[in-house]
Amino acid sequence: MGIRFDSVTVAYDGNVVLDSLDLTVEPGEVMALLGPSGSGKTTALRAVAGFVRPASGRVYLGGEDVTDLPPYRRGIGMVVQSYALFPHLRVDENVAFGLKARRTPKGEIRQRVAEALELTGMAGYARRHPRELSGGQQQRVAIARALAIRPRVLLLDEPLSALDARLRSGMLTELARLHRELPDVSMLYVTHDQVEALTLADRIAVMDSARLRACGTPRELYRAPTDAFTASFVGGANLVPVTVTAGGVSLAGTELKLDTAGAAVGARATLCVRPHLVGLGEGPNRLPGTVREIQWRGATHRLYVEVDGHTVMADVRELKAPPALGDTVDLHFAPDDGVLLPAGVSHG
Ligand SMILES: Nc1ncnc2c1ncn2[C@@H]1O[C@H](COP(=O)(O)OP(=O)(O)O)[C@@H](O)[C@H]1O
Ligand SMILES: [Mg+2]
348 confidence band (pLDDT: 50, 70, 90): very low
Prediction pTM value: 0.89
Alpha carbon of 158 to ligand 2 centroid (Å): 7
Residue-level pLDDT at 171:
87
Q: Is the pLDDT of residue 83 over 80?
A: no
Q: Is the pLDDT of residue 347 over 70?
A: no
Phi/psi for 62 (5° steps) reads 55, 40
Using one digit for the tens of pLDDT, what is the confidence trace for 208-255? 999 999 999 999 999 999 999 999 999 889 999 999 999 999 998 889
Strand boundaries in 26-173, DSSP class E: 30-34, 56-61, 64-65, 76-79, 153-157
Which ligand neighbours the alpha carbon of 207 most closely? Answer: 1
Contacts of 159 by beta carbon, 8 Å cutoff, 6+ apart: 79, 80, 81, 139, 142, 143, 171, 175, 189
Interatomic CA distance for residues 348 and 340, integer angstroms: 16
Residue 82: CA count within 13 A, CB half-sphere: 3
> Is there a contact between 131 and 86 (Cβ–Cβ < 8 Å)?
no
Which residues have a beta carbon within 5 Å of ligand 2, which is an ion? 42
Q: Please, what is the end-to-end C-alpha distance for the chain in angstroms?
A: 35
Using one digit for the tens of pLDDT, what is the confidence trace for 264-276? 999 999 999 999 9
Phi/psi for 319 (5° steps) reads -90, 135
> Is there a contact between 187 and 16 (Cβ–Cβ < 8 Å)?
no
Residue of 32, 30, 28 whose CA lies nearest to 41: 32
Residue-level pLDDT at 84:
84
For a mutational test of ligand 1's pocket, the pick from 13, 19, 34, 42, i.e. the residue with the most ligand atoms closer than 8 A to its C-beta, is 42
Phi/psi for 86 (5° steps) reads -80, 115
262 confidence band (pLDDT: 50, 70, 90): confident
- Indicate which residue's Cα is closest to atom 5 of ligand 1: 12
Alpha carbon of 26 to ligand 1 centroid (Å): 26
Using one digit for the tens of pLDDT, what is the confidence trace for 120-177? 999 999 999 999 999 889 999 999 999 999 998 999 999 998 888 888 888 898 899 9
Q: Is the pLDDT of residue 345 over 80?
A: no
